[in-house]
Structure formats: C-alpha cells, structure tokens
Amino acid sequence: MNACPWCGNDATGRDLIPRALTRVRRLLLVSRIRDWDYRVLLRPGISGVDPRYPKIVEIEQRYVVGKQRRDEISWTMLVGLITHELGHSFLYHHWEWTKHKRFVRAFGEVDKAYRGMDNSWVYFQNRRVAIAPRDHVTAYAAKHPQEDFAETFRFYVTRRGRLRDLFAEFGQKRKGVILYEKFLVLHDFVRALRGWT
Ligand SMILES: [Zn+2]
C-alpha cells in the first residue's frame, strides 16, 4: 500500500481515476449519451484509443501516478482528457456515421492522414471556447477532423449537452456557422441513438 506519510491518503494518485470516471459518467448521463460499453484503463505509454478496439480508452498512467512530479495532471485536465479520449472511442464505435454526408460536411474526412501531432493533453483542461480559429471549438480541434470531433464531444459532454449556453458563447466569440453545425450534428445523432428520430 502506498500511503502518503503526511496526509495518510493514497499517494499514488490512482484514486483520482475512479473519481474522475464517476464525474465523466455523470456528465455523459446528463448529456443523455447512451453508454457504448467503453472501458478506461491506466497504461504506460500514451493516452488514446486504438481503432481496432474502439471501446478501450487508455490513459497514460504517469498523469495520475507520482503526484510530486512535473507532469502532474490537474483534476480538470483529467476529466477533460478522459472525455476527449471517449470522443475518439465514441467515433470509432459509430464509424459508419463518419460516412454520412452531413457528418462529412461538418467535420471533413476523418480518414485523412495524421501528421505532426504532438502529445497535446495540456490543452484538454481548457473549458472555454477559443476565439480563434473561427470554425473550431479549440485550436487543438483544428489539427485533424478526428481531433475536431473529439474536442466537439468534450465540450458537448462537459457542458452537459446544453447547446443554448454554448451557442450564446459562440455568438459572443463570433464563431463560424459551421461550428454550430458540428454540435447540431452530434446532438441529432445522440438523440437518434436514443430513438428520437
Ligand atoms: Zn485526440
């Protein structure tokens, strides 16, 4: 057992994961996104989802263990990171959807090659909509259509599916029309999954 000699609590930070997951599950529930049976695992390496195993979300363990290190991750970032990675999982799980015209018009071609991607988890703590770029919710979202979707998903979920509040913020920040459409595409799909077509 790894107990912190000062506070007596778990010093490994592992207890953060179940707590963050409870928060994320709650957010998914209030956003009314149907469970697709995803699993979140702590692994050494990098965070991400392998398209061959769409339901498995891996989170880099150094973000949550060894709290005294420089790469310590904040609570908001952990919730943001998990939600972002769940966005990838959700998309891989519903991959057929990426071929629909409306999806392609909003997000583009998700099969496009990845290039020059860095491990940019630091961005995922940001809960505010970026002013630039105009057609993306965050700067990170502009890197690739799959990242665009994962960031759209993260905002949709962390804002509890409340599009009215989100769209008011888009208005203030003079975001492009296409950004509203990305959220509407996701919103309508989430509704369709619940059988509200
Ligand atoms: Zn991503």
Digit-coded pLDDT (tens) for 111-164:
988 776 655 666 777 888 999 999 999 999 999 999 999 999 999 999 999 999
Q: Give the type of residue at 148.
A: D
Residue 21 in any domain: the answer is yes
C-alpha 145 to ligand 1 mean position (Å):
10
**Residue 146 included in any domain:** yes
* Cα 22 to ligand 1 centre (Å): 21
CA of 14 to the centre of ligand 1 (A): 22
Span 13-40, pLDDT tens digits: 566 778 889 999 999 999 999 999 999 9
Rounded CA-CA distance 62/60 in Å is: 6
Q: Ligand 1 mean position to 143 CA, how many Å?
A: 9
Is residue 101 domain-resident?
yes
Q: Is the separation of the CB atoms in 85 and 48 below 8 Å?
A: yes
30 Cα to the center of ligand 1, angstroms: 23
Could you give the angle at which helices 16-30 and 145-158 cross, rounded to 10 degrees? 80
What is the DSSP-derived secondary structure letter of residue 8? -
Cα(1) to centroid(ligand 1), Å: 33
Q: Which domain holds residue 164?
A: 16-109+125-193
Mean pLDDT, range 180-186, rounded to an integer: 98
Distance 10 CA to ligand 1 centre (A): 29
Please check whether residue 10 lies inside any domain of the structure: no
| Global model pTM greater than 0.85 | yes
Average pLDDT on 162-172 reads: 97
Q: How many domains does the chain have?
A: 1
Q: Is residue 103 included in any domain, yes or no?
A: yes
* Residue 175: both structure tokens together: 């975001």
